[in-house]
Chain A
Amino acid sequence: MGANVIEVRGLCKSFRIPTVRRETIREHLFGLLRPRGYRRLQVLDDISFDVRRGETVGIMGRNGSGKSTLLKLLSGIYQPERGTVRAHAPITPVLELGIGWSPELNAIDNIMLLGIAMGLSRREAWAAVDEILAFAELEGFAGLPLKHYSSGMASRLAYSVAFKAVCEVLIIDEVFAVGDIGFRRRCEERYRELAAQGHTVVLVSHDPRLIQAFCNRALLLDAGKIALEGTGPEVVQAYLKLLALERPAG
């Protein structure tokens, strides 16, 4: 393995949750005389770790343990509250791709929009349209506005764009949970190709098989802290134990 491509030091992130949600100026004005309280939800608390060039790091943890927030911080989508994230290589985040497209635009326009936003040039994105549609098995639906796509079709398209736009570091959130078995197999194959080419990958998954099969190293997040850093099988064992503990007896 090479030098560090991502260095995370003392990373903290919390969200301020108001007791009463006020989203409009009207609500704020009418609420002036009724002050509201806040609860601070500490999502990540003093996280430090490194990712070295060419390795695949898995992240496991129960729902709400801070995995997705951590990925968004690594990708630069969220800002750290305290601590630092240093990335020494460009990152392609593959996050929440199942949701959100421009519903009025067809697949080709959406591919162009997302592809260029993810770092492809216009020329590269245009040249890749057919390949992306073929990977998602949506060649027959290229001209259909996304509002007519099923959620599975939209997710497949999004992952196909992301796999094409991939930079040196790939940050993946539950990628292999999308689509049918055939699509998942193609995703895994594509992932293996990327790993073989030397891409660095940070992979969040609840699937023990994926973490054991793909990851050189893994982290177990629990209540916003790193509960364990170890090999894939070690972290999977700890994760399963954690799940067993939270299951009600009997």
Chain B
Amino acid sequence: MRIRTTEDIARVDLLGLLWTLVRTDFKVRYHGTWMGFLWALFKPLAMFLVLMTVFSFIFAQERNYAFNLLLGLFLFDFFSESTRVGVTSLAVKGYLLGKTRFPRWLLVVTSPSNALMTLSVVCLTIVIALSVTGRSPSLAALGLFGLCLLAMIVITIGFSLGSSVLFLRYRDLNQIWDVIVQAGFFVAPVVYPLGIIPEKYHFYLYIWPPTAVIQFSRQLLVEHHVPTLKAFSMLAGVTATIFLSGLLLYRHYAPSAAENL
């Protein structure tokens, strides 16, 4: 056998590791569960049916309430699921951190993969459903919706980078985040249309990142209305701020991560 040298190791199989992490995360999450991957879709769908039954009476005048609710639920579910998994992403793979040296950020970056798969399936279904009902969004709208999703993914990765290293020091961070996310479900306009809130409060609602992504996605896909450049710039600013803050925290604390396991 040939000795593996520095040149060999410089070609660490990042893609191979990324794929293996995604594949094994998927397997751990769904293997042996009743209905497997379908369960991930079923949970928000069941929620949709319950909320739809209750709130469609209250918001009967809202023409696109069902599509808006479905889109909002799955986008929020992605945010909730991926950030929850992200907080503990380093801790649950502590067995790898203490054994060898490899790009640890991969553990964080791959953590939203399961939630992303669910979201992809749902988004595709919604776009197909809109097309079938004669409300097919334009290509430009789809492209801008893709940018909104990208912003959401970058936000969750940024949050996960920062919170995953903090979790190693503060072991109840995940419980606190759970409470924040639950409260945040009602801050984001998931079950209610944003229009029922007085406009002077909108700014505060938009501070909560899912609000902008959900609202813009609805406008693009369902209402065929393109948000302003200023609105997109604000989303980009929030995304960059969260990502950079998370990255700075990660860079500061990650070198000592193995010492806090």
Contact = CB atoms under 8 A, between A and B. Distances in A.
Contacts of B258: 72, 77-78
Contacts of B102: 117-119
Nearest to B96: A117
B31 interface: yes
A193 B28 CA distance: 37
A23 B13 contact: no
B256 A104 contact: no
A95 interface: yes
Residue of B8, B96, B97, B98 contacting most chain A CB atoms (<10 Å): B98
A133 B204 CA distance: 57
B20 A101 contact: no
B171 interface: yes
B121 interface: no
B208 interface: no
A23 B171 contact: yes
Interface stretch (A106-114, A181-189, A209-217, A232-240): A106-114
B170 A90 contact: no
Residue of A77, A92, A105, A109 contacting most chain B CB atoms (<10 Å): A77
B52 interface: no
Interface residues of B, number: 41
A112 B170 contact: no
Given A23-B171, A93-B100, A102-B95, A113 B16 contact: no
Interface in A65-93: 72, 75-79, 88-93
A101 B259 contact: no
Interface in A95-140: 95-97, 99-102, 104-105, 109, 112-114, 116-123, 125
Interface string B1-38: 10111101101110111011101100110010000000
A24 B99 contact: no
B31 A79 contact: no
A192 interface: no
Q: Dominant SS at the A interface? A: loop
Contacts of A121: 11, 13, 16
Contacts, number: 123
A95 B99 contact: yes
B176 interface: yes
Interface string B55-96: 000000000000000000000000000000000000001111
Nearest to A116: B17
Nearest to A105: B24
A147 to B, nearest CB: 11
Given A72-B258, A96-B99, A102 B5 contact: no
B172 A116 contact: no
A117 B170 contact: no
A90 B95 contact: no
B126 interface: no
Contacts of A75: 100-101
A59 interface: no
21 contacts: A25-B172, A75-B101, A77-B98, A78-B258, A79-B256, A89-B6, A93-B100, A99-B95, A100-B94, A100-B99, A102-B93, A109-B24, A112-B20, A113-B20, A113-B24, A114-B99, A116-B17, A117-B96, A167-B3, A167-B9, A168-B3
Interface of B: 1, 3-6, 8-9, 11-13, 15-17, 19-21, 23-24, 27-28, 31, 93-102, 169-173, 176, 255-256, 258-259
